[in-house]
Structure 1
């Protein structure tokens, strides 16, 4: 038991150290891996508790009660007077789960439920930037459907079921191609085989201009300024987008990325042919979004899920609800 205490202390210290290093920026953390390891390790402790440690403690408590009963019986046989010995306190002490099982096996059921929900059903995210304004605001806490595009194995992100195809207009969360440990959220503009053109701030798909309607200017309370607002329809439902007045149309600072030869950059903007197994994604805040125009296509393997619901915004409760 003493050895198990030390082993558990080392394991917990390793988790705390990893989280601390991640928080301070010393390392680049991986929450999915952290959850998997925590669930796996606590699961081993839970099995050990259920099938070994708990039966051992129960047997020890039964032995204590049996010894007390035998002692009373022997005194009665000898005709000696005795006081009833209360073994309840000792039994409770023996059966009590030690701290190192409390912090491992005791946490397993909660971690297991969270791990399953987060890995295969729904995962929460927080919107950190304004690239999806006006659809999503900074501070929105959103839910992402993890099975809509097919179930994927946690950590490995390997697809095991087909699910629904990615469609133009979907708001999708994916692993940022230049740095897959980061999650990004953008709107899918082009699917495999599409020719996407964003020229003079107008979007064209396969030679067809996407229907757009001008709306009243949008006032951003954070930036304290107005932006030109439009309604665009990529899929079945329309969505809103912003353009910054006076901002040039050309893409400045595009990096090298796989299949960059599929893209042509001009002073008017960019034209890209989406390769198989990839997607072209853009933010709704078109002039304030670091997206496929700059870092390239989203590989199928990087998809996390489809965003569909704002479940909380502590600064504005009216934000709660579904979105397009």
Structure 2
């Protein structure tokens, strides 16, 4: 006898039988920061931000199952096409960190094995590791329910936020505004979320990744240097710009691509000129705005409305992919994605 289970975000597809538990299969979506304004460095060394982030229909897959090994044993195997060799499989992996945190919070002690099928590129600014961690939390919570030690939603989300700012967003599972370090989440209203649905975006990433720690550190260093510069965005201005995504009256038809923003480009583009070169080429050849997601190195562009019904099969997408390979090399990643507007 089989049943499908769905628990929040990401989606869970679980198969139980009376005596045997088959693997839980969880989708861990990637994300894009359609808008990202870093507003300054805080006294604790972290940065404050205002961002509009969206989950995608593209992501990793995480399987987990209870095994017959020692109580409390947790193991992880990483496979898949997206630089699986670059994903740590030891205690630094966010899936294993999530499992450890969940066991401590819930008392769940059964041995569990994870298989992470990695599709989201590493070091891309697409949130793959954070999404995997939240998928692990939700999967473990489903297993723990059978032992009557599952966590409530509020506790689970708080646990996710402790693992990382992007984890708080993935625990929400919907398009949302991120504030603070990224841990303060405000889901978009229905009208704003609806504007994001149905469209397609072209996402691409060069063979190299960008260290998030380096990007934030470099921004802080340059902002504090003698040359100074407008590396940070004033919080009031960040809120004003981000608020344009929420407009429901006059101006609501403003093209979404014109609202994209990321002031981290000011430091990342200096070190990695391949990114602004592709952005300039997209603008000149195709009239598209290419924007970096998060701290990079992945970038994205909204596709014109006339290509959205079958974007993956259009001549434009083929031309964009060819352009990416031409400028970034044959190992560059590219694909068409859509925004997920519901949990």
TM exceeding 0.5: no
TM-score by length of 1: 0.25
Higher relative contact order (CA 8 A, sep 6+): 2
TM-score by length of 2: 0.24
